[in-house]
Structure 1
Amino acid sequence: MLWISCLRAASLVLLLLPCFPGQKGGENEQQTDVISVWEGDSISITCSRKNLEEVLGTYLTASKKELTVLYVAREGNSYIPPELAHRLNYSEEGKNLSITLHNAQQSDSNIYQCSTYVMRNGHHNKLFGKETIVVVKAQTSGVLEQSPLYVNPQPGQSISITCAWNSAYEDFYLLKTLMQRERVLHVSSQNVSTISLAFANRLGYSKEKKKIVVTLHNLQENDSGIYVCAGVLKNVSSLSVSESGTMLLIKDVEQADCSNNSWVISVLTIIVALLFATLICCTLYCVNVKKCFQKRKSHTVSNTVSNTVYEDMSYSSRRNTLSRSNHCSLSN
């Protein structure tokens, strides 16, 4: 019965082992890059190029302005617009073209696209590369108001983010700009929406002329970050962004199921210690039982042999007595 108890305890520990924290391996999702800076900071964008021998030239364009920010030809010639010449520089390192825009201004908020012209089979082809959304936040703008500034929900709960402009807008973006940078939601001027895979089936929104409300459902710990509203106003080429965004911090609460909290590790450590102690007790108990059993067996065998010898001697004694008695009677 004691061994059965030990087996049950071992099974419990094996069931709880998946609760121990471990490294998670996963696939990296290919997403649009998001860069969020304050006015006066620098913006760094890297364009990666493949098969350099085919590349005739590399472009960085601002899609909402339809502006060529930089063009670098294979021969080393380059073009930079006059209004950016004093703020932009670049460097080439192998397949990467690194571009830095200094003294960022709110008008630099835009969607930047890397592209290359290549020669293949005697024809010119344009290949589109990485897309980067740049958000330059000003200390005061007044164009876009966002609320709330801070929320601290528990896992599984929902929150709503409200973005309001002082005039009608066309394209809308909700961007996550801290740690994991991604485009959470894009609603085009044709009312076509694109939602990131991370929030698939967990995001809803309602749209008005000057306001949009985005609701995030079933929040998880890795949803924590800063969410920034951005949009393109009518007849304006650049993005307008909120001043501070919404800081979302998911509370780290203790849950009934397996989690990676420190208290779980402590409990499991105690269980392992108790199991180890129980196994030692089982071993010692079984060793004592075995010794006791061997002792009893030896004692039983000894008693059996002694009784047999005693019985044999008794029988012999009686036989000799009978024999002497009969001899005497015959003599008479």
Structure 2
Amino acid sequence: MTQALLALLLTLARILPGPLDAQEVHQSPRVVIASEGESINITCSTRGDLEGLIMKRIWPQASNVIYFEDELEPTVDSAFSGRINFSGSQKNLTIIMSLLQEADTGAYTCEAVRKVSVHGLFTTVVVKEKLSHEAYRSQEPLQTSVSLPAAIAVSFFLTGLILGVLCSMLRKTQIKKLCASGNKDSLCVVYEDMSCSNRKIPCTPNQYQ
């Protein structure tokens, strides 16, 4: 069912006044929205003598869903077999529809069976698709596969940065020790020249140059 069709169906359920004799059969709720696998209740009540009560689906395909009569075995359409339960009497009957399917979406109306039958306002039932647990679980590995490489990349970057800083500090310490020992090799001379340059202090001439 498209969103436009669903919006139209819900609008009609709220604004249509129903037949003139609808006050003889009260039906609730007007609109009910549920997910697959859930249950809903539709209550039909009437006054006066009646032979029984029928709940029909009038959209999208017309069909009799149930026929209920006091002290008799109720009749249930095969499409709803095992998914319909009842509470109350034929004058005040609650019809419990369970294990809902998307195919159950439609408009349902109650009809009081008399010499002159009357029916109530219809109930619009909308059954939405329910996201399965498998779909939820399938999303978790995807999130993990995206976050894990990012975490590894950040870890490598930070590790390399820390190692670089430590190596630089260790290198400077070794050069200082070497220069302090009096072994003026080329590495020591370069280090001293750079140290003097950084401090902007005149350096003594390099006797080895």
- Structure 2 length-normalised TM: 0.52
Q: Report the secondary structure of 2:127's partner residue.
A: coil
- Does residue 144 (structure 1) correspond to residue 25 (structure 2)? The answer is yes
Q: What is the distance in 2 between the residues matched to 1:186 and 1:139?
A: 23
- Give the match for residue 211 of structure 1: 92
Report Cα offsets for 1:266-308 as digits up to 9, x if no partner. Answer: x9xxxxxxxxxxxxxxxxxxxxxxxxxxxxxxxxxxxxxxxxx
Pick from 247, 250, 255 the counterpart of residue 127 of structure 2: 250
Equivalent in 110, 115, 119 of residue 241 of structure 1: 119
* Larger proportion of strand: 1
1:169 to 2:46 alignment: no
For residues 191 and 207 of structure 1, the distance between their equivalents in structure 2, rounded to whole angstroms, comes to 13
Q: CA deviation at 1:255?
A: 2.6
Contact 2:52-2:90 within 8 A present in 1 as well: no
Taking only aligned residues, the RMSD between alpha carbons, in angstroms, comes to 2.3
Supply the distance in 2 between the matched residues of 1:222 and 1:257 (Cα, whole angstroms). 22
Q: Which residue of 1 aligns with 2:12?
A: none
Q: Counterparts of 2:90 and 2:74 in 1: how far apart (Å)?
A: 16
- Flag structure 1 segments of 5+ consecutive residues without an equivalent: 1-136, 259-263, 268-332
Distance of 1:256 and 1:180 partners within structure 2? 32
Shift in alpha-carbon separation, 1:141–1:195, aligned structure 2, 3 A: closer
Residue 187 of structure 1, CA deviation:
1.9
Deviation at 1:170, TM superposition (A): 1.8
> Which of the pair has the greater relative contact order for Cα pairs under 8 Å at 6+ separation?
2
Structure 2 distance, partners of 1:140, 1:239, is: 10
- Give the letter for the 1:208 counterpart: S
Which residue identity lines up with residue 68 of structure 2 in the other structure? V
Identity fraction in percent:
24
Determine the structure 1 residue equivalent to 2:174. Answer: none
Residue in structure 1 matched with residue 35 of structure 2 by the alignment: 154
Mapped to 2, the partners of 1:257 and 1:183 lie a distance apart of 36
Deviation >6 Å, runs of 4+: none
Q: Which has the higher helix share?
A: 2
Does the aligned pair in 1 maintain the 2:54–2:65 contact within 8 Å?
yes
Paired residue type of 1:246 = T
Gaps of 5+ in 2: 1-17, 143-209
